[in-house]
Structure 1
Amino acid sequence: MAKQFASTGDMGEKTVSFSEVGRDLYAFTAEGDPNTGVIIGDDSVMIFDAQATPRLANMVIEKVRSVTDKPIRYVTLSHYHAVRVLGASAYNADEIIASDVCRAMVTERGQEDWDSEFGRFPRLFEGHESIPGLTWPTMTFETSMTVYLGNRRVDLIHLGRAHTAGDIVAWVPDAGVMFTGDIVEYKSACYCGDGHFSDWGGTLEAVRSFAPAAIAPGRGDALVGEAKVEEALDLTGDFLESTYRPVAQVAARGGTLKEAWDACRAVCDPKFTDYAIYEHCLPFNVARAYDEARGIDTPRVWTAERDRQVWEALQGQ
């Protein structure tokens, strides 16, 4: 197998969908690429996750302008990853909102993540020259915050650690719709390189407790209706369990990272090879699961160099 990131070969254009998931609520999706949520209130618009570049953000803005001319006043970031945040400048929003932990993670590892993801996802970073720099939240909160778009209420909530330590959701109670970021995926691999396997399942159950009528996930199709929501929550939970359990079993007996990789593939390949970004995520997921199983609570910082080292070590065996 070639020693390059699986995602570097994914250069084909994706088909964009702009799906209504509730009254004046939309999910911008693109065949497993990062999703963006659109929440339209009486007097303004909130964007949930900004895309990787201003070029991609402008594609979102074009879709927004097809349904409303209200000003985009807020950009909310579900977490700190570059593919979610670096397009924020295109919206010219009044405020950029995130959790306290998300902002701290931008400070701690934002540049390293940008450099890392730039190497992994060349297609998503086409037009990167227009990125003005790291995206810094202008408003943050610890556990919850409410924003009113006129009369429409949007609750921003940190339900627990999952995809990162600082993940938040946007809950729109008048419609019963939740924008989850990468806490929930639909038939797309979870990227777990900065994840917390021991907490993620509980965070999924916290999402479930809202009984959403619809979910806009981090990747994959918009999920409308109880059956689709439940399916996505179950599939996400199964992906996490199927990844972590065999790796933890290897770590418990003192096995190597390569043995953990083999054990994970034996369980996950039969289930998930058709999931978007599956091959790309595997080395990062196994490395993080192996660390967590050995008691390393805080994910190690991924740098471009560490990416290559882990990828080559596992792919080259």
Structure 2
Amino acid sequence: MADYPFPDPVVEIANVEEVARDLVVIANRDVDLVPNIGVIGGTHSVLVVDTGLGPRNAEKVLSFASEYARGRRLYLTTTHFHPEHAFGAHTFTGAATYLVNTAQAEDLATKGAGYLAMFTQLGEPVARELDSTRIPVPDLTYDGGYELDLGGRTVLLQPTGRAHSKGDQVVTVPDVDVMFTGDLAEAGQFAIFPWFPPHDTDVSGIRWVEVVKRLAEQRPRVVVPGHGDVGGARLLADVRDYLTELRDETWLRRDSAMAEETVAEEVRALMIERHPEWRLPEWIERGVSCLCAEHPAEMA
């Protein structure tokens, strides 16, 4: 098993930020494999957005949400199927109704076991959190979109189609203009491209650009990214601009028949030069590989 050179992927309930009336975020503190987790309240129900990695993290989130709800009904949704976002959902069984879009449910069913095996090999701290994980099965699935009535507040669950994953979903709270993006948007780091051919190639750089363009046009007041600090509309614009320049710089080099390895080297250096303060530059090369596969010459 590989050494894990990062802080343990543990959700800290002490890091709770109120971003609107009856709406809080358990912040991820820029810790790898810890997502930003939302707890959204209405008069009769509370929705939890994402669970943390594995059952131990999820137990802490469920305990916090149950106390926060004070007797209100609990719902759970996840922004996409990746382990730190959804692999604690089984812990909510019997305590909350778990609902996601159909494509995400299919991701869980077809890829969940493989991702569990892959993440367990990342290192002992990750394996420890994933111990006893059971791949969740949603209670409710939907197509097209879902309006969840929490009582005096409606939350919109909107699948985006293939982008960061096949089953991405955005969660918006219109009355306070808050948007949860999952890993479609991350703050202060390079976009995570889960490009693992031949096992998983569902991420699409060209679709991701279009999705984030549409989200940026909505100009939400508050944006809760999958990872990194809570921000505003500028956060979405930054992600849109980065994905666009990653695509354009990659394709410019592929147009000249440059070898993919050389493209990756040059684009990585350029992106780091343009964003020297961003974390996780190791994801640049995977983004380049994905976009090379989506180059118009390859798609013809």
- Larger RCO (CA under 8 A, 6+ residues apart): 1
State the AA in 1 paired with 2:270.
V
Question: Which residue of structure 2 lines up, in the alignment, with residue 11 of structure 1?
Answer: 7
Question: Which residue of structure 1 lines up, in the alignment, with residue 234 of structure 2?
Answer: 231
Instruction: Map 1:1-317 to 2 at 5 A.
Output: 8-11=4-7, 16=12, 17-32=15-30, 33-64=34-65, 67-71=68-72, 73-92=74-93, 93-120=95-122, 122-131=124-133, 133-193=134-194, 194-223=202-231, 229-279=232-282, 281-293=283-295
Deviation at residue 264 of structure 1 after TM alignment: 1.7
What is the CA–CA distance in structure 2 between the aligned matches of 1:129 and 1:295, rounded to whole Å?
A: 44
Deviation at residue 39 of structure 1 after TM alignment: 0.9
Count matched residues.
Answer: 286
Any idea what the Cα deviations from partners look like across 1:128-163, whole Å, max 9, x if unmatched?
2231x2122221122211111123211111234321
Shift in alpha-carbon separation, 1:69–1:141, aligned structure 2, 3 A:
same
Q: CA RMSD in A?
A: 2.6
What is the CA–CA distance in structure 2 between the aligned matches of 1:71 and 1:245, rounded to whole Å?
A: 48
Shift in alpha-carbon separation, 1:30–1:69, aligned structure 2, 3 A:
same
What is the CA–CA distance in structure 1 between the aligned matches of 2:157 and 2:191, rounded to whole Å?
A: 22
Of 191-200 and 248-257, more deviation after overlay is shown by 248-257
Unaligned runs of 5+ in 2: 195-201
Deviation at residue 85 of structure 1 after TM alignment: 0.8
Aligned identity (percent) is 23
Secondary structure (helix, strand or coil) at the match of 2:121 reads: helix
Unaligned runs of 5+ in 1: 224-228, 298-317
TM-score, with length taken from structure 1? 0.80
Any idea what the Cα deviations from partners look like across 1:80-110, whole Å, max 9, x if unmatched?
1122111112233442211111122223322
Secondary structure (helix, strand or coil) at the match of 2:25 reads: strand
Contact 2:160-2:167 within 8 A present in 1 as well: no
What is the CA–CA distance in structure 1 between the aligned matches of 2:42 and 2:250, rounded to whole Å?
A: 45
Shift in alpha-carbon separation, 1:13–1:186, aligned structure 2, 3 A:
same
Shift in alpha-carbon separation, 1:41–1:246, aligned structure 2, 3 A:
same
State the AA in 1 paired with 2:47.
M
